[in-house]
A = this chain, B = another copy of it.
Amino acid sequence: MLHASASVVIAWLMGAAGGAYVLWQLKQVLSCEQGNDTMREISAAIQEGASAFLGREYRILAVFVAIVAVIMTIFLQWQSALCFVVGAVASAGAGYLGMYVAVRANVRTAAAASHGLHEGLRVAFGSGAIMGMSVVSFSLLGMTTLYLVFSGNANQLVYVTGFGFGASSIALFARVGGGIYTKAADVGADLVGKVEQGIPEDDPRNPAVIADNVGDNVGDVAGMGADLFESYSGSIIAAATLGAAFGGDAAGAFIGLPFLVAAVGVLSSLFGIYIVIGEEWDQGINTFIGKLPAAIGGVAAQGFKFIKSHLAQIDENASLAELLATLRRSVWGASVAVLGLSLLAVLLAGVSIYYWLVILAGLIAGNAIAYVTEYYTSYTEKPTQGISEATQTGAATTIIQGLAVGMMSTVLPVLIVAVAILISIWLGMKADGTIAAGLYAVALSGVGMLSTLGVTLATDAYGPVADNAGGIAEMSHLPHEVRLRTDALDSLGNTTAATGKGFAIGSAVLTALALLAAYVAAAKVENLNVLSPTMLPGVLIGAMLPYLFSALTMMAVGRAAHQIVLEVRRQFREIPGLMEGTGKPDYKACVGISTESALHQMILPGALAVVVPLVVGFVLGKEALAGLLIGATASGFLLAVMMANAGGAWDNAKKWIETGEYGGKGSDAHKAAVVGDTVGDPFKDTSGPALNILIKLMSIVSLVFASAFGSGWLSF
């Protein structure tokens, strides 16, 4: 049986290896050519805007982090506060790095796409891989370092929970702030540019065009990175905490197992990345094999040759379908690798083999949800085509059909998660006899689901880079074929992003429930009876919070977009020759307004997520808070899936029409589809994904403050 610290050290080493890869890959991406002067200039403007936004956002969050750290020091211990700060900094760091490379990879992707599809993919995917691997490495390095620093202390895991809280807080603000920014700029740019002035998307005459491109980076890259950073950290913390609570003598093995699974996940993710862009590694690997003793080296060389011959790396002239197949293979390859290696991890930890089945269940569930997500949002399938058909009778039926598809799309993910929970609990109880073991298994299946995050996030995060590259190609008047290639890469990214979303939401629910279980243990909630006096009101209030949160974020997008509309209109009115291309738009003004209003609008919903659980916990007591978490998790899960899938389906229903169906671009059907797409924007890129974080943040706040809650001031 492996000691917990040993597992943690292994995870630390793998985290460090991942970090080393990130640095190497960063060098590779930055060394690519940057294209002509116009391209560099545009890219510089995007870089400047994105840096300015993140800089200001982090300055605001620093104040928030400082206040919370002081509160934690007073009500809890300085160690928790320290972990909180480290978690916040690590999450912000991963987000910043992802953004840093994305705003530099965009122009390089555009330049590379001038040579071919494959070259473009290589740069964009490299950027995504940096994001994916930096998220898992920073998270693993941060948690394991803190765990080792506090080793010997009985509360060492309790402190590390603070890391998750820090990561969640940054995630929520980054998702909400970035989400508002990106959609406000997008909607604002479209409403005046496309609708009122009739100029195409990404036209350099549109004053909001740079803000729109900045938005892709701060929302879809930095926001998503922070989001998954906290999912990943939260799932490991929840499993380790539950392992400590139920494990008894074997607690060390149960605490260590999630770290081990994460560690093998890093390796497997690197394998997945290798499948897509690993050619550069070959020389290094061969050199390494050459240095091995002849006997081993010979076998290794043959083995490597065998693997390579079966991996079928991308051909220079690969078609889009071949690229998609490669991306799929990379995610599946990583999954298979995780399964093999985690069997080793389970044996090494010395726990029941049933826990390996739990990890398997988590991985299968994640892939199943991803499949369902793709079914409901892909325009080659019936649900989205049904929305396209509904556009024929106008915008209203488009909206009704889209909402109905979104609602319908919740059914299978809920059933999949419910079955995953039932199987996990059953396996855990089979292995160790107690319900506590079953809940630990639920947490572990969440870890399994996210173990390949390094590569799934890479397939997700390269999309916005390709999108941006397309914008740069358009604005700098590159040949049309370049734009076609970046568009192809972008649409490929949209398809693979569905996979990422499926894993994100599925793991969010499992993690939130595991954190809830950890909270219940930590707060010593004795009366968990659903009919206890304060439980029912707690459930209702919890179920309401995702609605309040979504209302606030949607209204925020509306308000921020409105300010941009006013500014863009002003510029078209006041700057002479803007439409004719002789006047120069003031991009910075739009970037400034987007930044200002997104940050301003981010504060209320963000603060709410932290404050409400604390208020309920102190006023109504810890039972009510448990009810609140259940209500919020269930209701938030449903609303998040509904919004994300309705948004995705509207987007693709529009794209389906743009392929020429129902009259194609410019037809009445297309106009109706654009309405659906615009409604879907804040659904899928602001409110929906933020709900994933909300439910986990509330659980982790409760867990961190568990020891401070009593039976409530209004005690019965």
A contacts, CB < 8 Å to B: 187, 191, 195, 390, 393-397, 399-401, 403-408, 410-411, 414-415, 417-419, 421-422, 425-426, 429, 435, 438-439, 509, 513, 516-517, 520, 528-537, 539-544, 547-548, 550-552, 554-555, 557-558, 561-562, 565, 620, 626-627, 630-631, 634-635, 637-638, 642, 674-675, 678-679, 682, 714, 716
List the B side residues contacting A422 at CB < 8 Å. Answer: 533-534, 537, 620, 714
Contact A400 B551 (CB under 8 A): no
List the B side residues contacting A562 at CB < 8 Å. Answer: 393
List the B side residues contacting A679 at CB < 8 Å. Answer: 396, 399-400, 403
Can you list 6 contacts pairing A with B, beta carbon distance less than 8 Å? A393-B562, A400-B678, A410-B547, A415-B544, A425-B716, A543-B637
Q: Of the candidates B404, B405, B415, which one forms a contact with A541 in the assembled complex, judged by CB atoms under 8 Å apart?
A: B415
List the B side residues contacting A558 at CB < 8 Å. Answer: 390, 397, 400-401, 404
List the B side residues contacting A634 at CB < 8 Å. Answer: 539-540, 542-543, 631, 634-635
List the B side residues contacting A404 at CB < 8 Å. Answer: 550-551, 554-555, 558
List the B side residues contacting A399 at CB < 8 Å. Answer: 399, 675, 679
Contact A411 B548 (CB under 8 A): yes
List the B side residues contacting A642 at CB < 8 Å. Answer: 547
List the B side residues contacting A438 at CB < 8 Å. Answer: 533
Could you tell me the distance between the alpha carbons of A111 and B344 in the complex, rounded to whole angstroms? 85
Closest to A405 in B: B551
Could you tell me the distance between the alpha carbons of A532 and B393 in the complex, rounded to whole angstroms? 48
List the B side residues contacting A551 at CB < 8 Å. Answer: 404-408
Contact B675 A411 (CB under 8 A): no
List the B side residues contacting A400 at CB < 8 Å. Answer: 554, 557-558, 678-679, 682
Could you tell me the distance between the alpha carbons of A158 and B159 in the complex, rounded to whole angstroms? 53
Could you tell me the distance between the alpha carbons of A637 and B542 in the complex, rounded to whole angstroms? 12
- Supposing A407-B550, A558-B400 touch, asked if A529 and B528 sit within 8 A by C-beta, the answer is yes
List the B side residues contacting A513 at CB < 8 Å. Answer: 536
Question: Closest CB-CB distance, A609 to chain B, in whole Å?
Answer: 15
List the B side residues contacting A630 at CB < 8 Å. Answer: 530, 536, 539
Contact A410 B548 (CB under 8 A): yes
Contact A414 B534 (CB under 8 A): no
- Supposing A401-B558, A716-B425 touch, asked if A543 and B394 sit within 8 A by C-beta, the answer is no
Given A396-B678, A542-B634, 20 extra CB contacts under 8 A = A195-B394, A395-B395, A401-B554, A404-B551, A404-B558, A406-B551, A411-B547, A415-B544, A417-B540, A421-B536, A421-B537, A422-B537, A425-B716, A435-B532, A520-B531, A528-B528, A528-B529, A543-B635, A543-B638, A635-B638
Question: Closest CB-CB distance, A531 to chain B, in whole Å?
Answer: 6
Closest to A539 in B: B634
- Supposing A394-B675, A408-B551, A530-B630 touch, asked if A540 and B637 sit within 8 A by C-beta, the answer is yes
Could you tell me the distance between the alpha carbons of A325 and B403 in the complex, rounded to whole angstroms? 39
Could you tell me the distance between the alpha carbons of A682 and B397 in the complex, rounded to whole angstroms? 11
List the B side residues contacting A716 at CB < 8 Å. Answer: 425-426, 429
- Supposing A396-B675, A400-B557 touch, asked if A531 and B517 sit within 8 A by C-beta, the answer is yes
Question: Closest CB-CB distance, A414 to chain B, in whole Å?
Answer: 4
Could you tell me the distance between the alpha carbons of A403 and B631 in the complex, rounded to whole angstroms? 21
List the B side residues contacting A419 at CB < 8 Å. Answer: 537
List the B side residues contacting A393 at CB < 8 Å. Answer: 191, 562, 565
Contact B520 A395 (CB under 8 A): no
Among A187, A520, A631: residue with most chain B CB under 10 A: A631
Q: Of the candidates B403, B627, B638, which one forms a contact with A554 in the assembled complex, judged by CB atoms under 8 Å apart?
A: B403
Contact B411 A544 (CB under 8 A): yes
Closest to A635 in B: B635
Contact A555 B410 (CB under 8 A): no
Question: Closest CB-CB distance, A566 to chain B, in whole Å?
Answer: 11
List the B side residues contacting A435 at CB < 8 Å. Answer: 531-533
Closest to A399 in B: B679
Contact B635 A425 (CB under 8 A): no
Closest to A190 in B: B396
Could you tell me the distance between the alpha carbons of A246 and B195 in the complex, rounded to whole angstroms? 65
List the B side residues contacting A674 at CB < 8 Å. Answer: 396
Contact A548 B421 (CB under 8 A): no
Among A537, A565, A626: residue with most chain B CB under 10 A: A537
List the B side residues contacting A520 at CB < 8 Å. Answer: 531
Closest to A543 in B: B634
List the B side residues contacting A554 at CB < 8 Å. Answer: 400-401, 403-404, 407
Contact A531 B439 (CB under 8 A): yes
List the B side residues contacting A390 at CB < 8 Å. Answer: 558
Q: Of the candidates B401, B536, B638, which one forms a contact with A544 in the assembled complex, judged by CB atoms under 8 Å apart?
A: B638
Question: Closest CB-CB distance, A629 to chain B, in whole Å?
Answer: 9
Q: Of the candidates B426, B429, B537, B635, which one forms a contact with A418 in the assembled complex, judged by CB atoms under 8 Å apart?
A: B537
Closest to A636 in B: B543
Could you tell me the distance between the alpha carbons of A533 and B411 in the complex, rounded to whole angstroms? 21
Question: Closest CB-CB distance, A645 to chain B, in whole Å?
Answer: 11
List the B side residues contacting A548 at CB < 8 Å. Answer: 407-408, 410-411
Closest to A435 in B: B533
Closest to A420 in B: B537
Among A396, A550, A551: residue with most chain B CB under 10 A: A396
List the B side residues contacting A517 at CB < 8 Å. Answer: 531
